[in-house]
Amino acid sequence: MNTIQFFDTTLRDGEQTPGVNFNTKEKVQIAKQLEKWGIDTIEAGFPIASVGDFEAVKAIAESAEKMTVAGLARCQKADIDRAHEALQNAKHPQIHVFLATSPVHMEFKLKMTPDEVIASIKEHVSYARSKFEKVQFSPEDATRTEKQFLLKAVQTAIDAGATIINVPDTVGYSNPTEYGALFKFLIENIQSDQEIIFSSHCHDDLGMATANALAAIENGARRVEGTINGIGERAGNTALEEVALALYIRKDFYNAQSNILLNETKRTSDLVSRLSAVAVPRNKAIIGANAYAHESGIHQDGVLKNPDTYEIITPSLVGVNENSLPLGKLSGRHAFATKMEALGYQLTEEELKDAFKRFKSLADKKKQVTEDDLIALMVGQAQECSEDYRLERVQLQYVSDGSQGAIVSINTGEDESKTESAIGSGSIQAIYNSIDKIFVQKPELQEYYIKAITGGEDAQAEVHVTLADSENNKQFNGIGIDFDVLQASAKAYVKASEQFQKEAGRA
């Protein structure tokens, strides 16, 4: 069986999702879970893009134990140097160098001739190879590149020292037949004395990202690139959880395996969803809420008789279960700490103290605290610790047949507190109008989404909001988690507003 390497770009390409902005602490938390899931290589970021990206790549490089940590770089020496600086403490570093090769990109974006592009690939891949043992090259917009020129560009990169060739379908233009044939063409025609790994990188503009990635594997690709939940630029990327399950369920067809621990799939998906504030659609393959639900009477009858009639994936395979946690308000600190360690959290003494305090507060309100509750608690704690603005207090006046009133207090940094009041046609609107007055802002509320983290009347609420700036159409996502729906709604709006303020240069 072939072993397919999984290359995750959630923290780089995934962060290009409108409204998604991970901080360094969140990126490290996601990276640790991705390593636990079984990712072979993580693209931690684009080091030269910003100080924040550089620091995040550096932090992930220093924390990763087994997986390779990659940094993205254009064909520019300054980019390559910056990536080398960020990755110098990585146990397994890799650089990912790219340059566009399609006619439209060369003419209008790069303003370079084909000969100049080839010369740049040769110069910069050679320079990258002088600093890194593992060099990956991507001919951007490969699927709209003339085939013979693409072969020339790839061969040039290999001759210059690249041992990994990524073939990106940058704009989601290709289809499985064409994309698979492109891999076959390149693999059959390149010349190399050493082993070359070919990798897929697909976007989902036409809804074929996962199908294209699997077609690449059928035709010789040994690495697949993508993101968790398929997040990313425009319509997103190949959803890695879909490829992982396809290889496992249909190993009879693909004759391939991976290092992915499938029972960590749901936990990984939930973490990315909560930190990105991008909700997973209920009908999403593998990890959607409806993926293992059966509405039809015929289906229900079949499943009750034998689950294999309508379920090709058992819920437990991907970590979907009803596993409850026997911790409650009488549980002690030691039991709590042991459970958090079992869930993969390595907490400092101060973090443990804060987390235990939050747990006890939650346990006073809930009949039963589940693993999902604890994971949500940690996500909420990590977010609040990274926020410049913190929700201090929400007070409501409710009238059943009139306008609602709200008073909101927010800590705006350095122990400065601001309080404003407002009315609205509903409680949520009143809260959000109060927050807008504090920040002196008028964003457009594009999305408001609420879900229960666990079942039952005592479930914690998870609220997602998306704000938009009417002047530039940029989006800002926020998530709030709390036992109280209104409190969670306020937290989510404050989180999104913080990003809105930073974009406007007010924070």
Binding residues for Mn(2+): 13, 201, 203, 237
Strand 256-257 relative to strand 223-226, pairing: unpaired
Q: Which of 23, 29, 96, 40 is nearest to 63 (CA)?
A: 29
DSSP type of residue 294: -
SS3 39: coil
Length of the chain: 507
CB 13 within 8 A of CB 239: no
Strand 390-397 relative to strand 404-411, pairing: antiparallel
CB 429 within 8 A of CB 416: no
* List of residues 6+ apart from 335 with CB closer than 8 A: 327
Q: Where are the beta strands (DSSP E) in 176-251?
A: 197-202, 223-226
CB 16 within 8 A of CB 232: yes
CB 57 within 8 A of CB 88: no
Other C-beta atoms closer than 10 Å to the C-beta of 310 total 15
SS3 422: strand
Half-sphere exposure of 401 toward its Cβ, with a 13 Å CA cutoff?
0
CA 462 to chain centre: 18
CB 158 within 8 A of CB 167: no
Enumerate the known binding-site residues. 13, 201, 203, 237
Buried b (16+ CB within 10 A) or exposed e, 424-442: beebbbbbbbbbbebbeee
Here the tokens at position 231 are: 């997040």
d(CA 45, CA 457): 41
CA 96 to chain centre: 19
d(CA 355, CA 360): 9
d(CA 147, CA 253): 28
